[in-house]
Amino acid sequence: MAAFVAPGTLPTFLPMPTKRPNIILFLTDDQGYGDLSCMGCTDFRTPHLDALAHGGVLFTDWYSNSPVCSPSRAALLTGRYPGNAGVRSILAGHRTATGLPSHVPTLATALRDQGYATYMSGKWHLGLAEASRPHNHGFEHWFGHMAGCIDYYSHIFYWGANNPGPGISPTHDLWQDGEEIWEDGRYFTELITEHAIEYGRDAARKEQPFFLYVPYNAPHYPMHAPEKYVDRFRHLPWDRRIMAAMISAVDDSVGQILAEVERLGLGQDTMSVFTADNGPSRETRNWLDGTLDPYYGGSAGSLKGHKFSLYDGGIREPGILHWPAAVAGGQVLSEPVASMDVFPTALSAAGGDPSAFELDGTNLLPYVCDEQDPAPRDLFWEMGPQTAMRRGSMKLVLQGKLVEEAPPEDDIHLADLSDDMGERINVKDRDPRLTQELKESAETWRAGIEERWEREFSPQRQGTVTHGSTP
């Protein structure tokens, strides 16, 4: 159901415009549920994203479809569960690593076929082999990196430097339209923004509706931020200070892109969506000084779990949708939605037909435009041995882990999120029949994912390194 920012007021719902919107999809990396001020953060502010939420819809129960980056990005761009899109785990970062299969359509492909100009500026992480690159998945022009993480100033992928196998040597990873480029010393968040702004200008010159995908790699490690941002937060401890600086840089960047959209006269007719790929990282490599303690810089708010976990701290994310011509501002909506819903929602807004595609997501326009609650549905997740589902307010986690490499917390954990947002109380014994019913549903769904994986997407059948590989 819906609640609204201003108590005692109701939004004025708008007629659906006939003009197709431009679509901007913002994504951040390893950002916790609690790390925007519109989501309750109190030690730093994100005024541009707060304004975007206030002028549109803030979703309290927005879910990524995976607790790690590659599968969550696959779901976002394909409208499918990760296992149905062919990407189930973190993809390798060496230059022959494959990823998103070429036969799986993306939102960029669908919108390009609707006459949209399609652009990407940021982190891809859906494969480096030629068939998996952005230009083979619908993006006419693109800029960014393709592995899981890079140094923000040298743009070198260092992750595998101390690991055996492909990728053992550091690899430069900065590209534009498939060609390697060099921008030594330039802060990557700001480069993403510069290219995104130029892509918007390019589309405006063409007088063509556009889809602009802006996946920031911040605040993923390495924890780098320019001094002008770090100086804003000298009062915070180091780990939190750099996190705040990196997110503040993203917030300013979103503000710059949207200001340019307004300057181009496109503000009313632009749909903007913001979310994150998964929960905050506890990985020790965040520290940059050899510290082996878990990293504490990111916040999942009151949620349980972090990146890699199927408790809500690993998968529940900030979610914002803004479209002034069609979506009333000031809405705060609490029905569960997911990143895979972006594909059918954006395609519907563009005048396309979602039924022409294999999709697991649902069109959210009736929810955000007409106050129609989405049809009841189960949502599912899987990550290694973990499987989870949500039905209404009930959230089931099987073999749930709090962080990577940790032992399972419980074989079966059932929480009622209506009065236990943090999944602190296991109510599996309160209604054993319900627990068994949910368990069987989750296991049946997982079995279907496994069967399709072996039949269609298995790395052995593809000759790739996908499921279970390292970044």
- Residues identified as active-site: 69, 125
Q: Is residue 389 a contact partner of residue 442, using CB atoms and an 8 Å limit? A: yes
Counting Cα atoms < 13 Å in the Cβ hemisphere of 78 gives 26
Residue closest to 85 by CA, chosen among 44, 132, 36: 132
Q: Cα-Cα-Cα-Cα dihedral of 437, 441, 446, 449, to 10°?
A: 170
C-alpha distances in Å from residue 105, one per residue of 108, 112, 380: 8, 11, 21
Residue closest to 117 by CA, chosen among 187, 36, 207, 57: 207
C-alpha distances in Å from residue 214, one per residue of 73, 192, 280, 401: 12, 7, 19, 30
Strand ranges of the sheet holding 378-383, from the earlier edge strand across to the other edge:
378-383, 386-391, 394-400, 410-416
Residue closest to 122 by CA, chosen among 138, 106, 108, 143: 143
| ∠ Cα 337 343 345 (to 5°) | 65
CA distance 233 to 443: 46
Number of H-type helices and E-type strands within the chain = 12, 18
DSSP string, 133-148: SGGGTT-SEEEEE-SS
